[in-house]
Structure 1
Amino acid sequence: MEIAWENILGHEQQITRLRKLRAEGRLPHAMLFHGPDGVGKLRVARAMAAELLCEGADARPCGTCRQCRALLQDSHPDYYEIHPEGKAVKTIKIDVIRAMQANVERAPLLAAQRVVVIDDAEMMNEAAENSLLKTLEEPKGAVHFILVTRARSSMLDTIRSRCMNVGFGSLPEAELAHALALRGIPEAMAAELSALSDGSFGRALRLYDDGGLTMRDDAAAFLAHLGTFRPQDVFEKSAAMEKLPREKLSEWFLYLGMLLRDLLVLTEDGASLLLYHKDLRDRLAALLPSFPLARIEALLVLVRAMNRRLLVNVNQRLLLEGFFFRAMEA
């Protein structure tokens, strides 16, 4: 588990604010870290947890006290990190929340308090959210909760209102490219990955580790052939994509949305430097006659709806077929 502040990329203002509140004893018992995927929200949450648990007299986390050593070894009895579980659809169920609640109501075993980090908190089911709400309203004992989410608006208003909200934005492209280059990625590729990742370090690394831009290129090919799509193509494409893990499907639609956004930019200014996919400028420009503004906007609405529906338990095959048929009519 990474706990050092200096290894976190960006978010200096958020980190400074959190550490100042902690040093002054004014840090709320519940915080909600929200922002895009892969920008480092969970890393900040882990470092904040380490600072809260650390016994160091000066700089925290010190990395050497018994609290820090236990965290580094993933064996701290007073630190809980919850993630969604499941095969087809990952969720955080009420049983997991109840088990955590039972533990945090007891006295800490090693530290002066307990810290709970709930990653992908938007994946809690309704029962889990309502159960957690009771604890946030009336916390028992010394405990801090850090909820991490990419979809703050999908969570209960009552949970959001009981947490200090900390927003995390996308990382600057140049800063991201530099960080990728430090990992040994060639500078030209690092620059391209940073442009395509929408300020997400995690997304840039996934792009690189997955062998490049296969998903992006497939989404671009779909747009290029949308005008000649037939019902048979819908069934074949849906059958092929149905086999993808839900995370991969979300990634495909992410790239499709980014490509459509680039078409919007090119519609306004064909020479714009604001494209995500600068290497596809000519291919995208060639599509403009087939994609008037109204069609691009209609497709973006469909993509956003797909991204929401992929978060819940749905039949992927039917969802994909419905999307492709609507896209043909857009």
Structure 2
Amino acid sequence: MVNAVVSSAFTPLIGQAPAVELLTRAVVQNRIAPAYLFAGSQGVGRSLAARCFAELLLFNPQKSTASLRHRIQQGNHPDLLWVEPTYLHQGKLLSPAEAAEAGLKRKSPPVIRLEQVRQIAQFLGRPPLEAPRSVVVLNQAETMAEAAANGLLKTLEEPGQATLILLAPSIDALLPTLVSRCQRIPFYRLSEENLTQVLTQAGQAEILQQPQVLTIAQGSPGEAIASWQQLQAIPSELLDAATQIPRSVRAALELARQIDKTLDTETQLWLITYLQHRYWQAQAKPGLLQQLETARRHLLNSVQPRLVWEVTLMAMVDL
């Protein structure tokens, strides 16, 4: 029964054979590490792999496998804690979905906060209720500030009867002290064939006809879907204006005002990536790309978005 569960757990995951091999071997040999780092680009299957692995770690022979999978998907298993970056609004932590539902204009990207790391410690302070061990997944672990990362370090040193899974784009995105306490599992960008399979199965085959979106995605189905959604969310008039280099300072200031007024910061960050690809393909001017990369850095550092765009677009007038 256990072997059957192991062999079928990763069936939904496409194109990540090395990761599947490492994780299934750990379960079969009963050599499960206290912490794992799933390192790879966003949208290539890290989150899905974490759910599949959690299914193995939380497996209880007395419980239905189908029921376990459903509870994991719904996020209501008592021994699984899934941690996402959050926004702080009026003293409350909101997930990106909750922030969007509340209609908040998000001025900075969400982060994993010290308070959430403390919640992890509390969660692991009790023994598992149903499963052989507790499981904690930290999505976008690279968003942790230093205080939160240091707090997590203490938990990694003594996780107890638990396994932690950190999802990050690379080992360089985390503090070396965190990385050193995790077993690294590599995730790679998908081949064109696997990308096509994932998008088709997800009902997103229309994206395959969008070369600009596929170029941005670079083998990441999740990035392809997110980019397609972002592209559709930006008003066509604004997108057309943004893809043209302003002809005057006045035009640059007006475009900056429209971008700041219409788009939240996350969408502005995506727009920078989109413009970099468009400008490079159309004009191949390194100066334009550098101006946009500087704008991205300022936005990530919470500089006032309108000011960032004014400076960036006015500089483009002279390029």
Question: Taking structure 1 as reference, are residues 81 and 222 closer, same or farther at Cα in structure 2, changes over 3 Å only?
Answer: same
Q: Does 1:303 align with 2:304?
A: no
Q: Does 1:20 align with 2:25?
A: yes
Q: 2:250 aligns with which of 232, 236, 242?
A: 232
Cα RMSD between the aligned structures? Answer: 3.1
Query: Contact 2:60–2:132 at 8 Å: present in 1 too?
Result: no
Q: Does 1:313 align with 2:318?
A: no
For residues 246-261 of structure 1, what are the structure 2 equivalents within 5 Å? 246-261=265-280
Query: Contact 1:35–1:150 at 8 Å: present in 2 too?
Result: yes
Name structure 1 gaps, 5 residues minimum: 264-283
How far residue 92 of structure 1 moved from its aligned partner, in angstroms, is 1.6
RCO higher in structure (CA 8 A, sep ≥6):
2
How far residue 144 of structure 1 moved from its aligned partner, in angstroms, is 0.9
How far residue 250 of structure 1 moved from its aligned partner, in angstroms, is 1.7
Corresponding residue pairs, total: 291
Query: Contact 2:207–2:228 at 8 Å: present in 1 too?
Result: no
Question: Taking structure 1 as reference, are residues 69 and 146 closer, same or farther at Cα in structure 2, changes over 3 Å only?
Answer: same
CA distance in 1, matches of 2:286, 2:231: 31
Question: Taking structure 1 as reference, are residues 159 and 140 closer, same or farther at Cα in structure 2, changes over 3 Å only?
Answer: closer
Query: Contact 1:180–1:190 at 8 Å: present in 2 too?
Result: no
Question: Taking structure 1 as reference, are residues 169 and 312 closer, same or farther at Cα in structure 2, changes over 3 Å only?
Answer: farther
Question: Taking structure 1 as reference, are residues 187 and 99 closer, same or farther at Cα in structure 2, changes over 3 Å only?
Answer: closer
For residues 150-299 of structure 1, what are the structure 2 equivalents within 5 Å? 150=169, 152-185=171-204, 189-190=208-209, 192=211, 193-209=213-229, 212=232, 222=242, 224-226=244-246, 228=247, 230-243=248-261, 244-261=263-280, 263=281, 284=282, 288=283, 291=284, 296-299=285-288
How far residue 62 of structure 1 moved from its aligned partner, in angstroms, is 7.3
Residue type matched to 2:220 in 1?
Answer: S
Question: Taking structure 1 as reference, are residues 106 and 312 closer, same or farther at Cα in structure 2, changes over 3 Å only?
Answer: farther
Runs of 4+ deviating beyond 6 Å: 215-220
When the two structures are superposed, what TM-score results if normalisation uses the length of structure 1?
A: 0.76
Task: Report the more deviating stretch, 152-161 or 142-151.
Answer: 152-161
When the two structures are superposed, what TM-score results if normalisation uses the length of structure 2?
A: 0.78
CA distance in 1, matches of 2:83, 2:125: 17
Query: Contact 1:53–1:68 at 8 Å: present in 2 too?
Result: no
How far residue 101 of structure 1 moved from its aligned partner, in angstroms, is 0.5
1:272 maps to which residue? none
How far residue 73 of structure 1 moved from its aligned partner, in angstroms, is 3.8
Residue type matched to 1:163 in 2?
Answer: C
1:37 maps to which residue? 42
CA distance in 2, matches of 1:216, 1:20: 49
How far residue 175 of structure 1 moved from its aligned partner, in angstroms, is 2.3
CA distance in 2, matches of 1:152, 1:253: 25
Question: Taking structure 1 as reference, are residues 298 and 21 closer, same or farther at Cα in structure 2, changes over 3 Å only?
Answer: farther
Query: Contact 1:80–1:117 at 8 Å: present in 2 too?
Result: yes
1:88 maps to which residue? 107
How far residue 210 of structure 1 moved from its aligned partner, in angstroms, is 5.2
Q: Secondary structure at the match of 1:64?
A: helix
Q: Deviations over 1:16-51 (max 9, x none)?
A: 112112322233211222222222211111211111
Query: Contact 1:173–1:195 at 8 Å: present in 2 too?
Result: no
